[in-house]
Amino acid sequence: MQVISTLLLLICSSLLSANTPLLFPNSFLKGVAFSVHQNGGDLFGRSNWSVFEQKKTVLGTPTVTGNQRCNSSVGFWQKGFEDIALLQELGCNSVRFSVEWSAIEPEPGVFNEVVLNFYERYCDALIAAGIQPTVTLHHFTHPHWFDVIGGFEKEINITYFVRFCKVVFSRLNNKVALWYTINEPTVYSFMGYILGMHSPGKTMHFTLAGTVLKNLLLAHVRVYQELKKLPGGQQAQIGIVHQLLRAQAYSEWSPFGKFTAWFLNFCAAHKQTKKFLETGIFEYKIPGIVNVQTHCPEAPQSYDFIGINYYSRVVTGITGPTCFPNEVMTDMEYAIYPDGIYNAIAEMATLGVPMYITENGIPDAKDEHRAEFIKNYLKKVHEAVLDGYDVRGYFYWTLMDNYEWDRGFTQKFGLYQVDLTNLNRVLRPGAEPFKDHFLIANRA
């Protein structure tokens, strides 16, 4: 059926002009992604991020730009049900969101029924609105008590994460078909243990960074295995979300640029992670500096799909991030580079499982380039589908402006602009290609 659908799309697409909306298969997921912490903050002040944002960096500066606090962010816990209408306005048939471990299990072994019931009702409301809920089990945040006992720095602690995942899955598995175990384990390791810009804020701890990444990948395998044993586990689709990030030097003649690109590529750990998923072998090594290894034979059978977070590639110049001629920089350290998302799909296709673009977006406070970004990246995803790659969904990051970790509220990724004084949501003009140019066959 998937082959027939793709052939029909190929025939139709050959007849369409460049300005015609992109038509995806009727089973394709059109959605947005967000994390509940970034949209709703910390209900109890007991998460690792609530502690981290009150610290200082090694240079004595605030850990978050402008010393901002997430607090209740843009009011997910208060307005989440209302915001379902925004998803409908965009034509979404799915949404990717996280469950907040610190809210569900604020103390070890103590599970908050009120919060679990909230998530049940939220999923029910999404389904009633014709929107398929998909769930991320770990999106950078967890209870502070988990950090106190060592967090993912200790392999033995994986059992706590598995317990949490089993509780959530048992409550939601009859409502949720698509599960993401861990969001961007490479980013968690790199930003938290090498750059020190994310929780727990440890800098240049290479061995610890490798250990944490290894343990996150092992945690994914354990969660996959345990959830598959539960009622509904065999029917559920369970995968991991990987950010595919590469760096390249602007000039081969720049030693600084070449070294920075090499450093970023090692720390971003794309090759190490993909090799683990393909073979079960994990090697995080710099001779004389770090050597973390493990072998997990079950890893290649531990995912039903792969989630790909792709934004761009980083170009390193003499003084820092840059871009090539005729490229447009976003508000962060990367340029608009739509060819990269096609390349990412082609590379990850070698894993032999379905793929979802679980994040792709642009920080663009002036809304000058968002429409161009969305249209050109979606075109490349559409091309990949027509070329036979098994891509089954695209989730834009993100629904509305929110708390962008160490950047606070300074980065504007949202399709909806949010006024932080009253939490009013206003659809940006730049969201038009996502709303009207991105169509699903059975909704067109």
Sign, CA torsion 276/281/286/291: positive
Phi, psi (deg, nearest 5) at residue 182: -135, 135
d(CA 83, CA 401): 13
d(CA 334, CA 363): 10
299 contacts 280 by C-beta, under 8 angstroms: yes
Q: Which long-range contacts (CB under 8 A, 24 or more apart) does 258-265 make?
A: 258/316, 260/316, 261/314, 261/316, 264/314, 264/316
- The per-residue pLDDT for range 27-71, each reduced to its tens digit, is 999 999 999 999 999 988 899 999 999 999 888 999 999 999 999
Distances from the Cα of 287 to the Cα of 77, 139, 266, angstroms: 48, 31, 12
User: Where do the domains of the chain lie, and which CATH numbers do they carry?
Assistant: 24-443 (3.20.20.80)
Residues of the chain with pLDDT below 50 are 1-8, 11-16
Instruction: Assign 137 to helix, strand or coil.
Output: strand
Q: Read off the pTM.
A: 0.95
User: What was the pLDDT predicted at 442?
Assistant: 84
Could you give the residue numbers annotated as active site?
359
